[in-house]
Amino acid sequence: MSEKENLMKGIDERSPWRDITAGGFVYGSGNSEYFNTGDWRTRTPVWKPEHCRQCLLCFPVCPDSSIPVSEGKRGDFDFGHCKGCAICAKVCPFGAIDIVAGTESAEKGGEEA
Amino acid sequence: MTRKDRMSGNQAAAEAIRQINPDVIAAFPITPSTEIPQYVSSFKADGLIDTEFIAVESEHSAMSACIGASAAGVRAMTATSSAGMALMYEMLYVAASDRLPIVLAAVNRALTGPININADHSDSMGARDAGLIQLYSENAQEAYDNLLMANRIAENPDVMLPIMVCQDGFITSHGIENIIIEDDAKVKDFIGEYRPEKYLLNPSESLAVGPYSVSPYVIEMKRAAHEAMKNARQAVADVSADFARVFGREYGFFEEYRMDDAEYAVLVMSSAAGTCKDAVDELRAAGIKAGLVKLRMFRPFPADELADALKGLKALAIMDRSDGFSGTGAPLNAEVRAALYGKADVKTAGYIYGLGGRDIKVDDFKDIFGELADLAAGKELPYCRYIGVRE
Amino acid sequence: MIEIRWHGRGGQGAKTAALLLADVGFSAGLFVQGFPEYGPERMGAPITAYNRLSKDEIRVHSNIYEPDMVVVVDETLLKTVDVAAGLKTGGKVLVNSSRDPAEVLAGFGALNGEVYAIDAVDIAVRTIGKPMPNSPLLSAAIRLSGIMGKDEAIAAMQGAFTEKFASKPEVVGGNMKAVSEAWSAVLKIN
């Protein structure tokens, strides 16, 4: 997804204590990108581009930055990180986001991540 | 230029801070350490230091500000006592966990209550498990010297832990004594620059400090801090050796006074050690083989070295200036006994003394040595008991 | 080693006098201690302050129980405080008093030491312009301690005052007159 280096690569819940950073410092920024939360989802937003007017009200309210915006237009959800909170669907004035039960797009997100 | 001077322990601490010229001081006044930030703010006003002085609204904030400053990548110091230190406790643990080499000039005072402003060690003993290195000072000279060494010990890359330099409230903090103040440039050279490997204000590397840690990480972080505290032993030894080389005054983990052939010894920290030295000299003149071990470094605890120094004694008195309320013995007593266990078969008697500034005299120490002779001769003594208390 | 105990009341400057005596002793090349017994700040409450002066390093950090000399800044303390407690045989007690020697002596029981008196308030009022007995008492105490001669003592006190009153140098002159006069005014009364 990003080309920057993951400075925390290799440090995880199996790391021995000598490999944990001093003070638990987290090196680098935007590290949440490397942490896949898409599989926490129990319901899934479905974006309907035909109803979307690109008003972008959904983008700032997403708590997980899972609505990618490029050149002023949103694209499909980042299912690698979307937790299915459905706030986007709540704010959408045009009914362009449906919420469906299940995690059906999780696999797709997983592939992307 | 090196100069002979006379000053109080608080002035001595302030002189050390002036020479260290830390980037940030954040402090809140509390008796008897108030004078330290007071002097330092005068130095700042007079242009003698370029420290950023942050007058915070509490000690909790003082340590918080030090944590922020230290994480940002600079030298941060503070001073406190008693209830102020207690208000700092939460942030002391954070400073240690974040592995920030903050230097705290502590002036030991009884922890309320009952409300009292005089010396005892209940405040720093309450912080003994926080993860700070702790050095204790007998007099103004030692408070000054220990502070000059503190930054380098704490900033050692294998250590990176906060450090507390303690002296006794009023007894040394407010008493005028002779002192040698070293040359500014020589001190600056000794202390050197602080160059942290990782710091928040590094424009080329971003960093998050103090993140929430889920359980799969906490024990690993504590284990790393445990190792850092073990490493602090070498750092204290190395910096002390370098200090002796540069300034000529020698410091170990503890001072052994007339211990070579001693049969009876007292183990004590801070100002009372000086008083005990006079008692040892008087007893030696009377043919009694008395000695003193003055513990300088309480954290990390030099258990093996102490066991080695104390083995062969007929009896040892372990003196605590705080209770600890285990109902059995006080903190220093417990740790020394643990150090001796299985390594040195020495009879010990624990004493709790000097709470809330209660004076301890040369004669009190002579009485204790008398009791040690009884103990060695087979008399039973309590594991730990109060002295200087009205019965 | 000379051990001196000061008895005064909160606010009278016994502590300041003890710290100044430490300064003076230091300037004479001695090892010194000057420290008050601290408690809550209570104007008028009896307080003690202490000095040790020695050619050798001073290590003891207790209060002084067997002084070589006692200085009584406020003679009303004689009624309530056993100021001579523990005084060494042949020790000295210096009392700030304007009263008759016999009246001052009546404040003591049997003593194995010498009692000296000085009207430090009178000297202070005439020289400094205020009833602040510290400086004359300091001078008298130095004389009785025998740690230095008059010229050296005057010079040392000048140095100590100049440093202490750096922010109000105008008061140094009066204080110097006070200490000079006090040096000769102290009298043995027993």
DSSP string, C85-107: TTPPTT-EEEEE--S-HHHHHHT
Q: Find the closest chain A residue to B222 by CA distance.
A: A17
Mutation target vs A (from B98, B160, B202, B206; most A CBs, 10 A cutoff): B206
Q: Which residues contact C127 (CB under 8 A, 6 or more apart)?
A: C136, C174, C175, C177, C178, C181
Please give the CATH architecture assigned to the domain spanning B3-247: 3-Layer(aba) Sandwich (3.40)
Contact criterion met (CB below 8 Å) for A112 and A80? yes
Q: How confident is the model at residue A3 (pLDDT cuts 50, 70, 90)?
A: low
**Rounded to a whole number, what is the distance in Å from the CA of B149 to chain C's nearest CA?**
22
Facing C63 at nearest CB: one of B168, B178, B359: B359
Chain A residues in contact with B219 by the CB 8 A cut-off are: 17
* B275 close contact with C: CB closer than 8 A: yes
In chain C, what are the helix, strand and coil shares in percent, each to the nearest 5? 40, 20, 40
Tokens 């266990």, located at residue: B341
Contact B334, B324 (CB under 8 A): yes
Query: How much is the pTM?
Result: 0.94
**Domain A36-112, what architecture?**
2-Layer Sandwich (3.30)
* A55 in reach of chain B (CB within 8 A): no
* B20/B192 Cα distance (integer angstroms): 9
Q: Where do we find the tokens 């200490």?
A: C179
| Measured CA distances, B158 to A68, B77, B149, B217 (Å) | 43, 20, 16, 20
Q: Is A2 on the interface with B (CB under 8 A)?
A: no
Of B5, B118, B275, the CB nearest to C60: B275
List Cβ neighbours of B343 (8 Å cut-off, separation of 6 or more).
B304, B307, B308, B311
The per-residue pLDDT for B348 is: 97
| Mean pLDDT, all residues of chain B | 97
pLDDT tens digit sequence for B325-338: 999 889 999 999 99
Interface list for B 68-97 with A (CB within 8 A): 97
Report yes or no on chains C and B touching (3+ CB pairs under 8 A). Answer: yes
Burial of residue B347 (CB within 10 Å: 0-12, 13-18, 19+) is: middle
- Tally of helices (H runs) and strands (E runs) in chain A: 3, 5
CB pairs under 8 A between A and B: 56
Tokens of A35: 């942490």
The domains spanning B3-247 and B254-386 adopt the same CATH topology: yes
Which range of residues forms the domain containing residue C162?
A: 2-188
If one counts every other C-beta atom within 10 angstroms of the C-beta of residue A8, the result is 17
Burial environment of residue B103 by CB neighbours within 10 A (0 to 12, 13 to 18, 19 or more):
buried
CA distances from B252 to B33, B136, B153, B372 (A): 26, 12, 13, 26
**A45 within 8 A of A97, measured Cβ to Cβ:** yes
**Cis before B114? omega within 30:** yes
Q: What is the CATH number of the domain that holds C94?
A: 3.40.920.10
What residues have CB less than 8 Å from A91, skipping those under 6 apart? A57, A58, A61
Report domain extents, chain A. Answer: 36-112
Cα–Cα–Cα angle for C51, C56, C59, rounded to 5 degrees? 60
Give the closest of A15, A20, A25 to B208, CB-based.
A25
Give the amino acid at A105: S
Q: Which residues of A touch B228 (CB under 8 A)?
A: 22
**How close, in Å, is residue B230 to chain C by CA atoms?**
32
Set of chain C residues whose Cβ sits within 8 Å of the Cβ of B278 = 59-60
Structure-block tokens of residue C137: 């008492």
Q: Are strands C187-188 and C114-118 parallel, antiparallel or unpaired?
A: antiparallel
Q: Spell out the domain ranges in chain B.
A: 3-247, 254-386
CB contact under 8 A, A26 and B211: yes
| CA nearest to C21 within chain B | B176
Q: For residue C112, name the pLDDT band (cuts at 50, 70, 90).
A: confident
Query: Shortest Cα distance from B151 to chain A (angstroms)?
Result: 18
Q: Per residue of chain B (391 residues), give pLDDT as tens.
A: 999 999 999 999 999 999 999 999 999 999 999 999 999 999 999 999 999 999 999 999 999 999 999 999 999 999 999 999 999 999 999 999 999 999 999 999 999 889 999 999 999 999 999 999 999 999 999 999 999 999 999 999 999 999 999 999 999 999 999 999 999 999 999 999 999 999 999 999 999 999 999 999 999 999 999 999 999 999 999 999 999 999 999 999 999 999 999 999 999 999 999 999 999 999 999 999 999 999 999 999 999 999 999 999 999 999 999 999 999 889 999 999 999 999 999 999 999 999 999 999 999 999 999 999 999 999 999 999 999 999 9
Q: Give me the sign of the Cα torsion angle A86, A91, A95, A97.
A: negative
Q: What is the DSSP letter of B182?
A: P
**C166 in contact with chain B, both atoms CB, cutoff 8 A:** no
Locate B293 and state its tokens.
């071990």
Q: Which chain C residue is nearest to residue B116, measuring alpha carbons?
A: C39
CA–CA distance, B158 with B231 (Å, rounded to integer): 6
Considering only alpha carbons, which residue of chain A is nearest residue B161?
A: A23
Residue of A nearest to B207 (CA): A27
**Residue C76: which of C102, C103, C49 has the closest Cα?**
C103
Is B372:B317 a contact under the CB 8 Å cutoff? yes
Cβ atoms of residues B155 and B101 within 8 Å = yes
Compute how many other C-beta atoms are within 10 angstroms of the C-beta atom of residue B358: 17
If 0-12 CB within 10 Å is exposed, 13-18 middle and 19+ buried, where does residue B213 land?
middle
| Contact residues, chain B, for A26 at CB < 8 Å | 207-208, 211
Taking 90 as the threshold, does the pLDDT of residue A109 lie above it?
A: no
pLDDT for A27-76, tens place per residue?
A: 998 888 888 999 999 999 999 999 999 999 999 999 999 999 999 999 99
B208 CB within 8 Å of a chain A CB? yes
Judged against a pLDDT cut of 80, whether residue A108 lies above it is answered with no
Count the domains in chain C: 1
| Contact criterion met (CB < 8 Å) for A13 and B217 | yes
* Both structure tokens of B283: 């007893």
Q: Shortest CB distance from B117 goes to which of C19, C31, C38?
A: C38
Give the model's confidence band at A110: pLDDT under 50 very low, under 70 low, under 90 confident, else very high.
very low
pLDDT of residue C42: 84
Judge contact between B267 and B316, C-beta under 8 A: yes
User: Given this model, what pLDDT does residue C24 score?
Assistant: 94
pLDDT, chain A, mean: 88
Return the number of other C-beta atoms located less than 10 Å from residue B297's C-beta.
24
Query: Which 3 state secondary structure label does DSSP give B349?
Result: strand
Residue B82, CA distances (Å) to B113, B117, B129, B334 in order: 10, 8, 16, 22
pLDDT for position A105: 56
Q: Which of B166, B145, B304, B139 is nearest to B233 (CA)?
A: B304
Nearest by CB: C23 against B6, B118, B278: B6
pLDDT > 80? residue A4: no
Closest approach of B67 to chain C, Cα-based (Å): 33
The CATH number, out of the four listed (3.40.50.920, 3.40.190.100, 1.10.3730.10, 3.60.20.10), of the domain defined by the range B254-386: 3.40.50.920
Q: Mean pLDDT score of chain C, rounded to an integer?
A: 94
Name beta bridge partners: B293: B256, B267
